[in-house]
Structure 1
Amino acid sequence: MDTASPRTDYDVAAIMGGLYGDGIIACKGAFSPEWVGRLKQDIEGLFAEARRSPRGALERGPNRFYVEVHPERLSGFVDIVSHPWVVAVCAAVLGPDYKIVEAGFDIPFPGAMHQPWHRDFPAPPETLVGRRLNSLAFNITTVDVTEEIGPFEIAPGTQWDDLADGDPMFPDKSHYARYEARAQRKLPKVGDISARSALAIHRGTANRSSQSRPVFVLGVDAPDGRNADKHDLQVTQAYWDTLPEAVRCHLRCRIVPELENIEQAHTIEGLRMGVTM
């Protein structure tokens, strides 16, 4: 594994405290710049392919796209899912039988606008009532993020907010002042990886630079998580046979003779218009 951080002694209390508190944590320098460079090349090639396919790239706002991908099309997929920090975070928060359900990437291009504050899917009863997180999203930036390039912004602690009085994913604008008072913009560097609750209220900000900001996304569920329904993770039998058992036991996917076009079901219509600020 081409990593810059070989540690395995990650503190469970710090992991739990961060994700149950602010809702986001990070591992600095998890991968080398060379490794991230290869990931960026993979993403750029896959995005070009996706734009040529019907519904291959989903709009998440003006000049902003999400693409779900086949794991074997990424040269570093096994490195990501077997990184000691990723494994430690998944096991600590989701339990030893966690399941990998999503692989994709998000790209805000120059001209991308502020997204409305949102969460990625409605909060399940396990979180709202049981006060337990049963899903996580990992992100790997492929460029050094600056204020101009449209950083990710999160309102810490809002993974516990109950939006039952309105849209379960998009809070009413009357709540925006609270989120903006809490807001933290994240400026990760090449090689960093983060883990967050996708239920924490967040948004992508405007990209006022001249470059894109490709970000890899890995979605992971606890055994009772239901996000696999929104995705179509698939691998060929030949690729499956090459995977370490420690990866196969967590990968929830279809095994197919040949890769099929992914019918993306995780459309978030409320993000398509974006907002100006």
Structure 2
Amino acid sequence: MTDVAQTRPGPSLEGLDEEARAIVAGLYGDGIVARQGAFSTAWVDQLNEDVLAAFEEARQREGGAVSRGPNRYYVEVHPEQLRGFVDLVTHPWVTKVCETVLGPDYEIVEIGFDIPFAGAKDQPWHRDFPSPPETYEQGRLTSLAFNVTTVDTTEDMGPFNISLGTQFEAGLEFDHQQFPDRAEWPRYEAGSVYKTPQRGDVSARSALTIHRGTANRSELARPVVVLGVDAPGAGHDALHDPMVTRAFHDALPPELRRHLHARVVDELVPIVQKHDIEGLVMG
């Protein structure tokens, strides 16, 4: 991996410790970094219980579980639906990644999960949203996606496939500025790696790095929790509507309340998802 952070305008490396430098190098180089064993397997198993319960609830209503291809769904949830939410967003590595890359005023704008079930197919190569000028013109990342697998991933479970170093491609000619032409797929595949994280691992990536979910040839589901974080002004908060009850909000650490972009309400209402990646619906 090359330390392209030295040649891009991204965060200054001056005064950063070794861990922070590695974070910048990874996200501005490959487009992804990870911390193995960040959480206990017992913590992850509890997270998995909450994910499966939230999925069963979401599938019962329109707009609850959004298709991301055959046998693959994405569900956005409220923070307090996951008992591990506070542990995740206050983990020292997670907060360090956010502060280092997005700045001290980063905003937590989304929490949800992706589930490829048995029979899920290869997705087309894509990025999760169009690249902003701050990234393709100025070489600055303004958002991150953290992923936490809730099961031990094996090669037949449809592992995440990411084409390294593609986060700074402008992609203005992509379909919806998200889906590169099929003729370019061999190039992305040639520069890609498959990720098989285990329970307890957490990763952070630029959602602009070209990637795809792959075919789940096993008989098992592979849930992955997704945490979306923005730099101020990135604008993805307009695509999401997380809510917290007043009691939950008041019990949060003050520093977390400062970063959490969520409506405070008397009673939670189900989320009707606003961020639908149209090109993934049919796979």
TM-score w.r.t. the length of structure 1 is 0.95
Match of 2:255 among 246, 251, 268: 246
Match of 1:76 among 70, 74, 84: 84
Distance in 1 (CA, whole Å) between partners of 2:215 and 2:135 is 30
> Is contact 1:10–1:88 with CA below 8 Å preserved after alignment?
no
* Residue 96 of structure 1: aligned partner: 104
1:187 paired with 2:200, answer no
Distance in 2 (CA, whole Å) between partners of 1:208 and 1:113 is 9
Secondary structure class of the residue paired with 2:215: coil
Superposition pairs of residues 168-207 of structure 1, within 5 angstroms = 168-207=177-216
Deviation at 1:230, TM superposition (A): 0.8
Deviation at 1:73, TM superposition (A): 1.1
1:111 paired with 2:101, answer no
Count matched residues: 266
Superposition pairs of residues 38-49 of structure 1, within 5 angstroms = 38-49=46-57
Report the residue type matching 1:245 in the other structure: P
> Is contact 1:47–1:57 with CA below 8 Å preserved after alignment?
yes
Deviation at 1:171, TM superposition (A): 0.4
Superposition pairs of residues 1-277 of structure 1, within 5 angstroms = 11-167=19-175, 168-274=177-283
Report the residue type matching 2:199 in the other structure: V
Distance in 2 (CA, whole Å) between partners of 1:51 and 1:224 is 32
> Is contact 1:105–1:214 with CA below 8 Å preserved after alignment?
yes
- The 1:28–1:53 alpha-carbon spacing in structure 2 relative to 1, beyond 3 Å, is same
Q: Which runs of 5+ in 1 are unaligned?
A: 1-8
Aligned-pair Cα RMSD in Å: 0.9
Report the residue type matching 2:126 in the other structure: H
Secondary structure class of the residue paired with 1:224: coil
Question: Which range is displaced more, 110-119 or 265-274?
Answer: 265-274
Distance in 2 (CA, whole Å) between partners of 1:162 and 1:194 is 24
Deviation at 1:14, TM superposition (A): 0.4
Distance in 2 (CA, whole Å) between partners of 1:143 and 1:176 is 29
Deviation at 1:246, TM superposition (A): 1.5
Deviation at 1:183, TM superposition (A): 1.0
Report the residue type matching 1:186 in the other structure: K
| Cα offsets for 1:55-103 (capped at 9, x unmatched) | 1100000000000001011111000000000000000000000000000
Secondary structure class of the residue paired with 1:219: strand
Moved segments of 4+, more than 4 Å: none
Deviation at 1:166, TM superposition (A): 3.3
| Cα offsets for 1:205-255 (capped at 9, x unmatched) | 000000000000000000121111111111111110000012101001111
Deviation at 1:261, TM superposition (A): 1.5
